[in-house]
């Protein structure tokens, strides 16, 4: 069992910085990949944009799955569960983690995802769903309030994506596109729910957490950063990182 928690990728070369080599070493076979969209409203974009792009990125590193499957609400629970159980690779996509969770719950596949023993990757909303807690702090129009729910808790860790800054000290206020993160809000969550990690996907500066048989490893590409939130917000030391991989 290997799982990856990501914020996002260098979409010009998503798997070309060493991640693809890890996938090839970890995949038991390449019979099928299953994509789980970040909510029903993301299905068409996943079909039209993300699946073709990821198919290209996998091919660029020498991985071509024999079958590509997409979880959709019109599947039966048995059909969706079988797709996941037989998958070589499961990818939980970006979108809205709460809608993603609700869709999976209605399909009855949350337990199947928890049992899945192959190679899994979640990015953005998908990584949040994999977490112990899905953590949203007030950051914009879509999320004006604190919203904390239990995730799948696959590895006892929680992540928050898109904390993109080039600074080595986390700012009191961080603005990323149309979202604003407050340092005090993040620390407040850690005090109540336990330590968690902030991940980055700033152009080519990528950060990833890998779980393998209970071991947690940190992976960065270029100047990617991983922050741990406790009673303060501190950078995870690069000395703990695996190359490319922290």
75: Cα separation from own chain's centroid: 23
Question: 245 lies in a domain?
Answer: no
Question: 80 lies in a domain?
Answer: yes
Domain with residue 167: its CATH number is: 3.40.50.880
pLDDT in the model for residue 238: 60
pLDDT digits (tens, 9 = 90+) for 115-126: 999 999 999 999
pLDDT digits (tens, 9 = 90+) for 81-96: 999 999 999 999 999 9
Question: 191 lies in a domain?
Answer: yes
Query: What domain count does the chain have?
Result: 1
Question: 246 lies in a domain?
Answer: no
Question: 99 lies in a domain?
Answer: yes
Average pLDDT, the chain: 93
Question: 171 lies in a domain?
Answer: yes
- Number of alpha carbons in the 13 Å side-chain half-sphere of residue 145: 3
Question: 212 lies in a domain?
Answer: yes
Question: 73 lies in a domain?
Answer: yes
Closest by Cα among 203, 127, 200 to 170: 200
> For residue 209, what are the domain limits?
2-239
């Amino acid at each position: 069992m290997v799982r990856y928690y990501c914020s996002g990728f260098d979409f010009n070369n998503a798997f070309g910085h060493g991640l693809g080599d890890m996938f090839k070493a970890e995949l038991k076979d390449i019979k099928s990949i299953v994509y789980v969209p970040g909510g029903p409203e993301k299905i068409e974009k996943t079909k039209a944009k993300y699946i073709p792009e990821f198919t290209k990125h996998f091919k660029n590193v020498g991985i071509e799955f024999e079958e590509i499957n997409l979880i959709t609400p019109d599947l039966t629970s048995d059909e969706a569960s079988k797709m996941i159980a037989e998958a070589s690779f499961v990818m939980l996509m970006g979108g809205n983690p709460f809608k993603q969770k609700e869709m999976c719950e209605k399909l009855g596949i949350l337990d199947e995802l928890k049992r899945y023993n192959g190679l899994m990757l979640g990015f953005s909303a998908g990584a949040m769903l994999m977490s112990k807690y899905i953590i949203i702090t007030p950051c914009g129009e879509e999320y004006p309030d604190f919203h904390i729910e239990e995730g799948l808790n696959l590895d006892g860790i929680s992540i928050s994506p898109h904390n993109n800054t080039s600074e080595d000290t986390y700012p009191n206020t961080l603005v990323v596109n149309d979202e604003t993160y407050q340092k005090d809000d993040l620390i407040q969550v850690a005090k109540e729910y336990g330590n968690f990690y902030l991940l980055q996907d700033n152009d080519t500066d990528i950060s990833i957490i890998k779980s393998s048989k209970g071991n947690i490893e940190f992976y960065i590409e270029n100047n990617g950063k991983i922050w741990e939130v406790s009673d303060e917000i501190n950078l995870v030391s690069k000395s703990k990182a695996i190359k490319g991989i922290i």
